[in-house]
Amino acid sequence: MKINFTENENKIDILKRPTLRIAGGWVRDKLLGLESNDIDVVVDNMMGYDFALLVREYMLNNNLEVSHMARVAANPEKNKNMETATGKVLGQSIDFVNLSGDTPTVIGSTEPNKYSINYGTPTGLHDLKEKIIRTPLPPYETFNDDPLRTLRVVRFASHFGHTIEKNVLEAIKNEEIQNMLSTRTSRSKIGEELNKMLNGNDSLKACEYLYDLNLYKIVFVRPPENAVVTIRSALSKAQVKEIQDQIQKKSKDKKEDMAIEKSRRNKRRM
C-alpha cells in the first residue's frame, strides 16, 4: 500500500522516513580499496544528534555494542559550519550530520545491499581513476567554506601520488584563502594534517607542495614568545634534516636552472 502525503503533511519532515547517505572520505577509500577509520553519515530530514540518539536506543534495546553519543556544536568562526553527533557503533567511529543540500562524494542505499554513488562532480570517478585532484564546487568556494581543505589537498596528492588540477593550485595560493587558513583554523587541526603528511607515503613531496604553494610559512609559523608549546614530532631529527636538505637542494637546483636559462636567452639576443 502506498501512503500519499497532503501538501501540509509534506512540510512536516518527521512524517517522512529519513534517507541516510555515507559521505566523504569513507567512500573515496572504499573506491580505492583502502580501509577507513571512520564513517560520516548524512541524515536528510532531522538533526544528526537526534538520529544518533535513536541509533543508540535501538542498539541498547538489542544488546548491541554502542557508545555514548556526543553532540559537537557548530562553530562557524573555526569553520565548523554544521552541528554533528559522534560516537561508536560496534566499535566503529561514526559521525552523524544533517545536510539538506547536495553532498559531494556520497554513497546511498534505497534497497538492501544495493548502492548508488554520487561523487559530486561528473568527472569524479574518472578523476579518481586518473589520479587527478579537483573540487566538486569552484575551488575558491570550496576553500572559502573550509580553508583546512587546502592542506588536505596537499596530503592526498602527496600520499596517493595524484596530480592537483591547475585551478585548484591557483585557489590554494589565493591570498584571502591563505589568510583564512592562518586566522580561522585551529593550530591543532593544522598540526593533525601535518602529522598525517609526514606519516604518508611521500613526506618530502608534501613539504615541497607546502613550499611551492606558500603554505610553508602558515604551517610552520613561530608561536608567540610567551606561548607554552608541546612539540610531538612525527619524524626523527635525522629524517627532518634529510627533508630540509632535499628541499634546499631542490631550491638551489631550481635557481641554477633559471640562471642557465637566462644565460641562454642572453646569448640568443647577441
Of 176 and 28, the structure prediction assigns the larger pLDDT to 176
pTM confidence score: 0.64
Q: Which of 10-14, 26-30, 37-41, 183-187 has the lowest mean pLDDT?
A: 10-14
Q: Which of 15-29, 104-118, 164-178, 208-222 has the lowest mean pLDDT?
A: 104-118
Of all residues in the chain, what percent carry a pLDDT higher than 90?
39
Q: pLDDT tens digits, residue range 206-224?
A: 999 999 999 999 998 876 6
User: What's the whole-number mean pLDDT along residues 112-132?
Assistant: 66
93 phi, psi to nearest 5 deg: -70, 130
Looking at CATH, the fold of the domain delimited by 11-120 is given as: Beta Polymerase; domain 2 (3.30.460)
Of 202 and 82, the structure prediction assigns the larger pLDDT to 202
Is the confidence at residue 265, as pLDDT, over 90? no
Q: pLDDT tens digits, residue range 87-109?
A: 999 988 999 998 755 444 444 43
Is the confidence at residue 120, as pLDDT, over 60? no
Domain boundaries 123-227, CATH class: mainly alpha
Choose the most confident range, by mean pLDDT, from 42-46, 106-110, 171-175. 171-175
Q: pLDDT tens digits, residue range 144-164?
A: 988 999 999 999 999 999 999
User: What's the whole-number mean pLDDT along residues 114-138?
Assistant: 73
Strand duo 132-133 + 163-164: pairing: parallel
For position 85, what pLDDT does the model report?
92
For position 111, what pLDDT does the model report?
38
| C-alpha–C-alpha distance, residues 91 and 88, integer Å | 5
Q: pLDDT tens digits, residue range 220-259?
A: 887 666 655 555 555 566 766 777 777 777 777 878 888 8
Of all residues in the chain, what percent carry a pLDDT higher than 70?
76
Q: Which of 83-87, 98-102, 114-118 has the lowest mean pLDDT?
A: 114-118
Of 19 and 209, the structure prediction assigns the larger pLDDT to 209
Q: Which residues have CB under 8 Å from 151's CB, separation 6+?
A: 181, 190, 193, 194, 197, 215, 219
User: What's the whole-number mean pLDDT along residues 114-143?
Assistant: 76
For position 153, what pLDDT does the model report?
95
Neighbour order of strands in the sheet with 20-23: 70-72, 84-89, 92-98, 38-43, 20-23, 106-111, 114-118
CA distances from 48 to 60, 98, 100, 225 (A): 18, 5, 11, 41
| C-alpha–C-alpha distance, residues 37 and 89, integer Å | 12
For position 239, what pLDDT does the model report?
66
Q: Tell me if residue 162 falls in helix, strand or coil.
A: coil
Domain ranges of the chain: 11-120, 123-227
Is the confidence at residue 266, as pLDDT, over 80? no
Strand duo 92-98 + 38-43: pairing: parallel
For position 205, what pLDDT does the model report?
94
